[in-house]
Amino acid sequence: MDSGIEMNDVLSWTLSDPEQRIGFAGGRFTRVNHLFAGILGALLTAAVFGVLFPFRSSPVGMLFYRESSLPITVAIIFLTAWSMAILALKLAKLRLQRRALRLSIMPDGHDFVLSPTTVDQVAERMATSVDDPRNFVLLNRIDWALSNLRNLGRVGDVSEMFTTQAEYDEGNMETSYLAVAAFVWAIPVLGFIGTVLGLSQAIGEFGGVLQSGSELDQIKDQLQQVTGGLATAFETTLQGLVAALIVQLCMASLKKSEHEFLDDCSEYCSRHVISRLRLLPLETAGDR
C-alpha cells in the first residue's frame, strides 16, 4: 500500500499535546484542562512572590507585599497567572493543530475523484497520517464529512456538511475562552474591592484621629498616615486594571490567530476536498 506518508511524519496528538505529555487529560482541539492550568498559575504566582521577597521593602516590592492589601494582591496575581497559563497552553495546542494543515490527505494525482467509492482511500491515508483524526480540527472535519458521504452516498451534501462543521468549530472555539473572559472581568473587580477596603480602613483611622488628637502637630502626623493609607488603597485597582489589560490583549491576539486557523481549515477543505468531489450520474439525474 502506498500511503504517500512516511512513518516519521505521523502526527501524534497523544505525544505532542502539551497536557498529554505531562500526564494530564488533554482538552480536545485547543481546549485546555483548567485544573492543569490552575496548577501552573499557582506555581507562577509563588514564583513571582518568591522573586520579589528579597525586595519586599522596596517601593516595587511594597506594591505586592503591603500587609493591608496582600490577600487581594495574591488573588489578582493568581487569576492573572491562571489566565496566562490557559492562553500559553492554547497557543501550544494551536501550533499543534496547524501542523495538520501540512499533511497531504488526498491521494496524489489530479485525476483522483472523491466519491462514495473512493472515500476509503482518503480515510486510510488519514489514519496513517495521525494517531487519531478526531483530535485535530481539520481532520475531524474531513472525517465527519467523509463518514456522511460513505453512509449517505451523496456528494452534493458534503459542502453543506463542511459549512455546518465549520460553524460548530467556531462556536467551540469561542466557548473555550469563557474562563479567561471571566477572569478578565473578575481581576479589576478584585482591585476595586481592595480599594474599598482600603478606603474604609483609612476613613476609620481618620475618625480616630479626630477623636483622639488634642494638639495640631499630633493631628498633622496622624493625618499624614491616613492620607498615605488612601494612596495605597488605590494600588489594588491599579494592579487589577493593568493585569486585566494585559490578559485581554493577549486573549484578543490569540483569538485572532485561532480565527485565522479556522479560516485556513475551511480553505484547505475547499481546495483539497470539495474541489475533488464529482456528482454521480444517478445524483445528476435525480436533481433534474
| pLDDT tens string 216-238 | 555 566 555 555 556 666 888 99
The alpha carbon of 278 is separated from its chain's Cα centroid by a whole number of angstroms, namely 39
pLDDT at residue number 6: 40
Q: 8 falls in which pLDDT band (50, 70, 90)?
A: very low
Quote the Cα angle for 185-187-191, to 5°: 120
Residue 232, pLDDT score? 65
Establish if 264 belongs to a structural domain: yes
Q: How many domains does the chain have?
A: 1
Tens digits of residue pLDDT in 15-30:
999 999 988 988 889 9
pLDDT digits (tens, 9 = 90+) for 23-81: 898 888 999 999 999 999 999 999 999 999 999 888 888 888 888 788 999 999 999 99
Q: Is residue 111 part of a domain?
A: no
Q: What is residue 176's three-state secondary structure?
A: coil
Q: Structural domain of residue 83, as residue ranges? A: 15-106+122-281
Determine, yes or no, domain membership for 177: yes
In a domain, 86, yes or no: yes
Angle at 192 between CA 191 and CA 198, to 5 degrees: 90
Whether the Cβ atoms of residue 246 and residue 236 lie closer than 8 Å to each other: no
On whether residue 288 sits in a domain, the answer given is no
pLDDT the model gives residue 213: 52
State how far the Cα of 1 lies from the Cα of 134, in Å rounded to an integer.
23
**CB under 8 Å to 40, separation ≥6 — which residues?**
81, 82, 85, 88, 89
4 lies in a domain? no
Q: Is position 262 within any domain? A: yes
Cβ contact 13:131 at 8 Å: yes
- pTM of the complete model: 0.85
**Using CA atoms, how far apart are residues 258 and 285, in angstroms rounded to an integer?**
41
Q: Has residue 273 been placed in a domain?
A: yes
Report how far Cα 1 is from the mean position of its chain's Cα atoms.
Answer: 40
Which cell numbers in the block locate residue 176? 473555550
